[in-house]
Amino acid sequence: MRSYSVESAFHPCDEAVIATNDDASDCKRCAVRLGYWKDEYIGYFVRSSERKAPEINRGYFARVKGVEMCVEKFLKKTNDKCQIINLGCGFDTLYWRLKDSGHNIINYTELDFPTVTARKCYTIKRNKALLGKIHAEDGEVKLSPTDMHGPNYHIMGVDLRNIDELDNKLQQAEIDYKLPTIFIAECVLVYIEAQNCRNLLKWLAGRFESAVFVNFEQVNMNDRFGDVMLNNLRARGCSLAGIDSCLSLETQTSRFLECGWSGSRAWDMVQVYQSISPSERQRIEHIEMLDETELLTQLSQHYCLAVAWVGELFQDIEITVEKRMSSLNID
Ligand SMILES: C[S@@+](CC[C@H](N)C(=O)[O-])C[C@H]1O[C@@H](n2cnc3c(N)ncnc32)[C@H](O)[C@@H]1O
């Protein structure tokens, strides 16, 4: 297998962008340890993490649940005859969690910078609990320092700004462009320059016959709270090259429509949180007390979940989500 030249593709901010995965993984690890959701696998990738503020833990809970809700709807609709492609996957563990809940989809592919995928591959190789689930099907696992190919799991190092390289990698993963496919991007597009992001979204919309895109990231970035968030990230060396699409729910959806996706909807994380079942919300609200909820509300108003689709099969994915949201908003 060909390994990827890490240095040649680097932009000045990539180091800082890659480090955002450590932050996200740390936060997920902390929330899991406190019992916000179950994840037996994140601990292999992050051994220990500092305790985070309750607002952060609740924010991550809504983020993980929101993405999961979309994925579950998609799996139900396709009866698992589908592909999942996680763009900028970091150390996300959804592949293993889905396996544990009995899902066996046709192809699960993860993509990130080679520096990140090399660390993920190394950890998977060293831990039976992770590797065993990839082996579980009959068949061998092919490895390079940055890439791994199992029977239905693939992880590969690639810069998502390089479409030729991406095309090549998806072919190595035996992605079938005719099969229903869901893309997940959790806090990834915001780090990609607007033109590169448009190229990526256009290419995906043109290449896949039937696809759904689930995008979690910042929104409402043009107010004072947004300024503070941006300055914090910039102080850590992240340029936030894709911030122009994070100004409002409207800019989040129009980006997809302008790039050839047939439809798109977006909700801020206050709405997404309200769409989670009341019993589940009650459970996690008892894990840690919040003296006041203003900061959590402000944070939640500055992140969103946007869904876009290509092809007719998933036209109603937004309606299903919305119905659930409005019915729960009445509570
Ligand atoms: C904030 S982290 C999120 C990781 C993971 N999605 C999660 O939520 O746990 C952003 C991830 O996007 C990846 N990323 C950003 N720009 C990328 C690019 N141009 N190509 C590949 N990966 C990229 C980073 O390396 C990092 O792992």
Q: Which two tokens stand for residue 227?
A: 């300024």
In a domain, 1, yes or no: no
Report the alpha-carbon distance of residue 219 to residue 268 in Å, rounded.
8
Ligand 1 centroid, distance to 63 Cα (angstroms): 15
75 φ/ψ angles, rounded to the nearest 5 degrees? -65, -35
In a domain, 114, yes or no: yes
In a domain, 227, yes or no: yes
The protein residue whose alpha carbon is closest to atom 3 in ligand 1 is 21
Q: Give 259-296 as a DSSP string.
A: TT-SEEEEEEHHHHHHHS-HHHHHHHHTTS--S-SHHH
Q: How many CB atoms lie within 10 A of CB 245?
A: 26
Residues 6+ apart with CB under 8 A from 128: none
| 169 CB burial (10 A radius; 0-12, 13-18, 19+) | buried
Residues enclosing ligand 1, CB less than 6 A?
17-18, 20-21, 24-25, 88-90, 92, 112-113, 116, 159-161, 186-188, 191-192
The count of domains in the chain is: 1
Choice from 113, 217, 238 to test ligand 1 binding pocket (greatest atom count within 8 A of CB): 113
Q: What is the pLDDT of residue 312?
A: 74
Residues 204/183, Cβ–Cβ less than 8 Å: yes
Ligand 1 centroid, distance to 113 Cα (angstroms): 7
In a domain, 221, yes or no: yes
Report the alpha-carbon distance of residue 264 to residue 60 in Å, rounded.
23
Q: Which two tokens stand for residue 5?
A: 């030249």
In a domain, 39, yes or no: no
Nearest to 95 by CA among 50, 34, 137, 146: 137
The protein residue whose alpha carbon is closest to atom 24 in ligand 1 is 18
Q: Which two tokens stand for residue 235?
A: 């102080």
Lowest-confidence region among 89-103, 172-186, 234-248, 255-269: 234-248
Question: pLDDT per residue over 128-158, tens digit each?
Answer: 999 999 986 566 888 899 999 999 999 999 9
Q: Which atom of ligand 1 is found nearest the CA of 185? A: 6
Residues 6+ apart with CB under 8 A from 220: 226, 246, 247, 248, 268, 301, 302
Q: What is the pLDDT of residue 136?
A: 60
CA distances for 39 relative to 30, 218, 287, angstroms: 11, 24, 16
In a domain, 26, yes or no: no
The residues pairing with 156 across neighbouring beta strands, listed in sequence order, are 111
Question: pLDDT per residue over 254-308, tens digit each?
Answer: 999 999 999 999 999 999 999 999 999 999 999 999 989 999 999 999 999 999 9
Long-range CB contacts (< 8 A, 24+ apart) of 231-236? 236/16, 236/19
Q: Residue 321 above 50 pLDDT?
A: no
More confident residue, 236 or 322: 236
Ligand 1 centroid, distance to 118 Cα (angstroms): 13
Residues 181/208, Cβ–Cβ less than 8 Å: yes
Report the alpha-carbon distance of residue 170 to residue 110 in Å, rounded.
10
In a domain, 25, yes or no: no
Pairing of strands 263-268, 142-143: unpaired
Ligand 1 centroid, distance to 20 Cα (angstroms): 7
The residues pairing with 86 across neighbouring beta strands, listed in sequence order, are 110, 184
Range of 191's domain? 7-20+53-329
Choice from 191, 199, 213 to test ligand 1 binding pocket (greatest atom count within 8 A of CB): 191
In a domain, 48, yes or no: no
Q: What is the pLDDT of residue 118?
A: 97
What CATH number is attached to the domain comprising 234? 3.40.50.150
Question: pLDDT per residue over 87-131, tens digit each?
Answer: 999 999 999 999 999 999 999 999 999 999 999 999 999 999 999
